[in-house]
């Protein structure tokens, strides 16, 4: 078990980090070069003021018309994304590991709150999965990969919750937690989760076009 633990927290963690950061750099660079070659308008019309104006309207809950039309989804989506980022980044146990490995540390959440965030992420994943099943248009649009992505996101949170509370078999689940977290990190640049870094670009371009050319709001 120790050898396995050392493997998943050592070499495998490095692979995940390299795929995550390297993949992200690769995707953004290659997409930018492709845009240079084929989408001249993106650079021509890009405008930081209008891009930011649009992005802000879409990352603040209820600032866009469509987010006001779907209040429940808006609340769940914003809470989900917030918890999804905050729980792992500001978890005491994670920061301890980082501190042991790199000597770095930062502010962390009280464990109880992190626990709440974890449950929130899991509940939101269930909400999204049910929504994919019961809302006809979303059901029609969904493919296997959409469910797979949801599963990939939920897995480290379910296993993390399990391990933290030391439910039966938690030592194995801890390994599963680490591996599933690594799979998630590595998958971000290469799946629809890439909206994490493509969102500001697609939204920003549409904001630039609407603001600078179309002279109309896009929210």
Partner 1 sequence: MLDVAKVTQEKILDVGIEEGAADLTPERIQAVIRQTLASEGGARIKTYVDTCVSCGLCSDACHFYLSNNKDPRFAPAGKVKQTLREMIRRKGAVSVEFMKKASEIASTECNLCKRCAMYCPFGIDVAFLMLFVRRICHKLGITPQYIQDTANSHSATYNQMWVKDDEWIDSLLWQEEEAQEEISNLRIPLEKEGAEIMYSVIGPEPKFRAQLIYQAAVIFNVAGLDWTMPATPGWDNSDMCMYTGDNEMMARLKKAHFETAMRLKVKKIVMGECGHAFRSVYDMGNRALGWRMPPVRTVHAIEFFYELIRDGRINILQKYDKPVTIHDPCNVIRGRGLHEMLRYVTHAICAEVIEMTPNREHNYCCSAGGGVINCGPPWKMKRVDGNKVKAQQLFEAKSKGAQTCIAPCHNCHGGLEDIIHHNEIGMDLKFLGDIIYAVMEKPEHV
Residue 106 binds to partner 1 (criterion: CB under 8 A): no
Q: Which stretch binds partner 1 (CB under 8 A): 18-26, 30-38, 115-123, 157-165?
A: 30-38
Residue 70 binds to partner 1 (criterion: CB under 8 A): yes
Cβ closer to partner 1: 101 or 213?
213
Q: Is 196 in contact with 213 (CB distance < 8 Å)?
A: no
CB atoms within 10 A of CB 68: 11
Provide, rounded to whole angstroms, the least separation between the CB of residue 90 and partner 1: 25
Q: Choose which of 1, 2, 69, 168 interacts with partner 1 (CB under 8 A).
A: 69
Rounded-to-integer distance, Cα 124 and Cα 130, Å: 10
Distances (CA, A) of 3 to 10, 12, 156, 175, 214: 10, 12, 21, 11, 60
Cβ closer to partner 1: 3 or 143?
143
Q: Choose which of 18, 56, 98, 138 interacts with partner 1 (CB under 8 A).
A: 138
Helical (H) or strand (E) element with 147: helix 144-164
Provide, rounded to whole angstroms, the least separation between the CB of residue 44 and partner 1: 6
3-state secondary structure 63-128: CCHHHHHCHHHHHHHHHHHHHHHHHHHCCHHHHHHHHHHHCCCCCCCCHHHHHHHHHHHHHHHHHH
Cβ closer to partner 1: 39 or 100?
39
Residue 68 binds to partner 1 (criterion: CB under 8 A): no
Q: Is 32 in contact with 205 (CB distance < 8 Å)?
A: no
Q: Choose which of 135, 148, 167, 169 interacts with partner 1 (CB under 8 A).
A: 135
Q: Which stretch binds partner 1 (CB under 8 A): 82-90, 91-99, 154-162, 189-197?
A: 189-197
Distances (CA, A) of 26 to 12, 87, 177, 188: 20, 27, 27, 12
Q: Choose which of 47, 54, 174, 180 interacts with partner 1 (CB under 8 A).
A: 54
Residue 142 binds to partner 1 (criterion: CB under 8 A): yes
DSSP 44-75: HH--HHHHHHHHHHHHSTT-SHHHHH-HHHHH
Residue 201 binds to partner 1 (criterion: CB under 8 A): yes
Residues that bind partner 1 (CB under 8 A): 31-32, 34-35, 37-39, 41-42, 44-45, 54, 58, 64-67, 69-70, 73, 132, 134-143, 146, 149, 192, 194-195, 198-199, 201-207, 210, 213-219
């Amino acid at each position: 078990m120790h050898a396995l633990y050392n493997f998943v927290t050592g070499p495998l963690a490095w692979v995940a980090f390299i795929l995550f950061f390297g993949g992200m750099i690769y995707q953004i660079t290659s997409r930018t070069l492709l845009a240079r070659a084929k989408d001249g308008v993106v650079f021509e019309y890009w405008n930081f003021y209008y891009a930011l104006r649009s992005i802000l309207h879409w990352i603040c809950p209820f600032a866009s018309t469509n987010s006001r039309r779907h209040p429940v989804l808006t609340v769940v989506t914003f809470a989900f994304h917030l918890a999804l980022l905050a729980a792992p980044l500001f978890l005491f146990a994670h920061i301890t590991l980082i501190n042991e490995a790199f000597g770095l540390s930062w502010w962390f959440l009280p464990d109880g709150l992190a626990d709440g965030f974890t449950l929130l992420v899991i509940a939101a994943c269930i909400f999204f999965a049910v929504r994919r099943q019961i809302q006809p248009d979303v059901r029609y649009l969904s493919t296997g990969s959409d469910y797979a992505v949801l599963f990939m996101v939920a897995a480290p949170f379910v296993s993390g919750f399990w391990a933290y509370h030391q439910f039966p078999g938690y030592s194995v689940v801890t390994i599963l937690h680490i591996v599933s977290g690594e799979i998630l990190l590595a998958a971000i640049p290469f799946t629809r989760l890439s909206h994490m870094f493509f969102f500001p670009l697609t939204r920003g371009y549409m904001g630039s076009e609407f603001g600078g050319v179309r002279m109309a709001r896009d929210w």
